[in-house]
A and B are shown apart, each in its own frame.
Chain A
Amino acid sequence: MTEKLTRQPFILRNPSILVVLAVLAVFTVAVTLLSQAYGNGTVPTSTVKVLGKTLCLALAAVAMDLVWGYLGILSLGQMAFFALGGYLIGQWLMYARTESIVAASLAGNPIPPTPAELQEGVANQIFGVVGSSDLPLVWAFAHSLPIQLLLVVAVPGLLALAFGWLAFRSRVNGVYLSILTQAMTLALALWLFQNDSGFRGNNGLSGLQNIPGLDAVDQATLSVWFLWASALALGLAYVLAAWLVSGKFGSVVRAIRDDETRVRFLGYPVEGFKLVVFTLAAMITAVAGALYYPQAGIINPAELMPIASIYLAVWVAIGGRGRLYGAIIGAALVSLLSSWFTGGRAPDINLPGYTVNWVDWWQVALGIGFVLVTLSAPKGIAGIVDHLGGIRPPRRATGEVPQPAQEAKA
């Protein structure tokens, strides 16, 4: 008995990790072999990009599941971190690429350009659209890939740390906290919408699909590279998340979800645990964003509007909270279905007297479907998987805050 409690490797205690990694590997290899760059071309490059982006969304969903499914915080601002990651990598992508273009155009001049002229040219190119020709301070490191890569995790991490510290310290809980996270992402979005925020206002950053220094590599090849990078990030994050929630740390985190007060009386600094998970999730989400937007090619402040984060929550809810693979299933399934239905490729349904056009009706169906899932299958698709796999689902994987127990008072 003692042996059983102590010596079981964590991978063996979590067989789902191996399954997920295997599925991910098979999927990535299969797409590669069917791609235009490395295979027979059955899967067009645009689809490879969609699949790569879907992996990034799944990665964000895994982080969301950590925060919501395990820690019990329904964060309606996760996509703020996602978009921040995208913006931060986008700064380098856009700067470096514009710099090479400007350098090429200035090379025709009789006098070679000074660094200041080069920078001015770049600033003019990037910010002419918002009527400015100065490089804002927030672009100070845009020329350097290593620094921007560091910032991709550091800035969202610090934001999450600061926000979380403020919110958790004052013990804001439940729906209050959800509203506050929503306010956070809205504030950020509104800030970025301004022309003088230094991020090109509602134009956002564009041309991100062109990777500086890789001009010779075509998009078909790049799309496969990004698919691999996204799959790798998802696999690593999955293992990390699974490790995090499996041990004593995971125990405490789930205990906080179920009864925060009791955990405090056990002597655990609840705020510290929340901060660690919230910040880590923000960093994972930021990495997902940094991989997503080079595949999407463009990012603008609309990506930070609260609705995007709510959709993320919806995916996780449909996939199944408190189950990491549930988050992946939910994100992949719903986002792929959404783009299929709203892409106009789904066949219309001809009813007598009315034609149901999916572009118009998908949102309605999704909304109603989501209500039905919440009502009848609160554990989502993962609940069905658990049922089929004979895994006993947890009794209270609801991520609810405990109700004020008035009768417990004297």
Chain B
Amino acid sequence: MSALLEVDSISVSFDGFRAINNLSFNIGEAELRAVIGPNGAGKTTFMDIVTGKTRPDAGDVKWGTPPKSLLKMNEAQIARAGIGRKFQRPTVFEDQTVADNLTMALKANRNPFAVLGWRPSVDSAGKVAELASEVGLAAQITRKAGELSHGQKQWLEIGMLLAQEPRLLLVDEPAAGMTLAEREQTTALLVRLAQTRAVVVVEHDMDFVRRLNCKVTVLHQGSVLAEGSLDHVTRNPDVIEVYLGR
């Protein structure tokens, strides 16, 4: 299986604290993967490195075929290469309407002058409307994002991610602060998305991970502790030690 993303023995420390320690693993095309681990395991730092927010001290991150190092690219270039990221807290542009938020995220030339010359078309408007209804915000399309509820903001952000049409989606704790119904909806969405692209979900919540029914990578102290199906890893004595022994 050719890897879409290949993380090759990366390490990073903050002030002597090793947040990521010789971490390696691969994500394939159209794969759904859950990354779990206790607090401080390095889950968010891993995402920061992949998206270009943090530079690793050692190692390499390769992307696509032929493999290209992501370390030489900045955040925007990585995003344009096809890696989308959903933050833990919903971050949408509250000052602007739902339509504006989605329009901004639509896959298009990101060059400032191209953006300056960009005109809304029937096509783009149609896409925005479609995305809005997909995430259940069709009725809110002209409202300011700041006026939405917390859950609606989460959905708007997911909609923006979809608009970017990424090949790899990094999702940080999507279920946090969601109702049970919303979680089910989210699970269904993630599974459906993973049919056409790779999705990496970072999550605490074992129930949620179980519902995703996918390969699981357990991180601990900045490196991979175990990998496999959820049942497989939960039987791993190291994992039990880390999760229950504390």
Consider the complex of A and B and state whether they touch directly, i.e. have CB atoms less than 8 Å apart. Answer: yes
| A interface, CB within 8 angstroms of B | 1-2, 5-6, 244, 247-249, 251-252, 254-255, 258-259, 261-262, 264-270, 272-273, 275-276, 394-397, 405, 408-410
Tell me the smallest distance from the CB of B87 to a CB of chain A, in Å.
7
**Interface-located stretch among B5-13, B75-83, B207-215:** B75-83
Contact A408 B87 (CB under 8 A): yes
- 19 A-B pairs whose Cβ atoms sit less than 8 Å apart in the complex: A2-B126, A5-B99, A6-B120, A6-B121, A6-B125, A248-B115, A249-B112, A251-B100, A258-B93, A265-B75, A266-B105, A269-B111, A269-B112, A395-B146, A405-B89, A408-B89, A410-B39, A410-B40, A410-B41
Expressed in whole angstroms, the Cα–Cα distance for A63 and B129 within the complex equals 34
**Which A residues are in CB contact (< 8 Å) with B79?**
264-267
Expressed in whole angstroms, the Cα–Cα distance for A272 and B190 within the complex equals 33
Contact A410 B44 (CB under 8 A): yes
Tell me the smallest distance from the CB of A143 to a CB of chain B, in Å.
35
From the candidates A244, A254, A265, name the one contacting B93 in the complex (CB within 8 A): A254
Tell me the smallest distance from the CB of A245 to a CB of chain B, in Å.
11
Report, nearest first, the 9 A-B pairs whose CB atoms are least far apart: A267-B79, A410-B44, A264-B75, A267-B80, A6-B120, A395-B146, A5-B125, A2-B125, A394-B95
Tell me the smallest distance from the CB of B70 to a CB of chain A, in Å.
14
Contact A395 B94 (CB under 8 A): yes
Q: Which residues between 76 and 117 of chain B lie within 8 Å of chain A, taking CB atoms?
A: 76-77, 79-80, 84-85, 87-89, 91, 93-96, 99-100, 103-105, 110-113, 115-116
Interface flag for B175 (CB, 8 Å): no
Contact A6 B122 (CB under 8 A): yes
Contact B129 A1 (CB under 8 A): yes
Tell me the smallest distance from the CB of B204 to a CB of chain A, in Å.
10
Contact A265 B112 (CB under 8 A): no
**Which B residues are in CB contact (< 8 Å) with A247?**
116, 118-119
Tell me the smallest distance from the CB of A284 to a CB of chain B, in Å.
16
Q: Which A residue sits closest to B79, measured CB to CB?
A: A267
Contact B40 A269 (CB under 8 A): no
**Which A residues are in CB contact (< 8 Å) with B42?**
410
Q: Which residues between 43 and 80 of chain B lie within 8 Å of chain A, taking CB atoms?
A: 43-45, 51, 53, 74-77, 79-80
Expressed in whole angstroms, the Cα–Cα distance for A394 and B144 within the complex equals 9
Tell me the smallest distance from the CB of A408 to a CB of chain B, in Å.
6
Contact A248 B87 (CB under 8 A): no
Contact B85 A265 (CB under 8 A): yes
Expressed in whole angstroms, the Cα–Cα distance for A375 and B124 within the complex equals 42
**Which A residues are in CB contact (< 8 Å) with B216?**
none
From the candidates A1, A251, A261, A265, name the one contacting B103 in the complex (CB within 8 A): A251
Q: Which B residue sits closest to A8, measured CB to CB?
A: B120
Interface flag for B218 (CB, 8 Å): no
From the candidates B76, B116, B119, B164, name the one contacting A269 in the complex (CB within 8 A): B76
**Which A residues are in CB contact (< 8 Å) with B34?**
none
Expressed in whole angstroms, the Cα–Cα distance for A410 and B40 within the complex equals 6
Expressed in whole angstroms, the Cα–Cα distance for A251 and B105 within the complex equals 11
Tell me the smallest distance from the CB of A42 to a CB of chain B, in Å.
44
**Which B residues are in CB contact (< 8 Å) with A396?**
94-95, 146
Instruction: For the A-B complex with A266-B160, A276-B112, A410-B40 known, give 5 more contacts whose Cβ atoms are closer than 8 Å.
Output: A2-B126, A247-B119, A249-B112, A258-B94, A266-B105
Contact B116 A249 (CB under 8 A): yes
Expressed in whole angstroms, the Cα–Cα distance for A272 and B110 within the complex equals 10
Contact A254 B96 (CB under 8 A): yes
Tell me the smallest distance from the CB of B96 to a CB of chain A, in Å.
6
**Which B residues are in CB contact (< 8 Å) with A254?**
93, 95-96
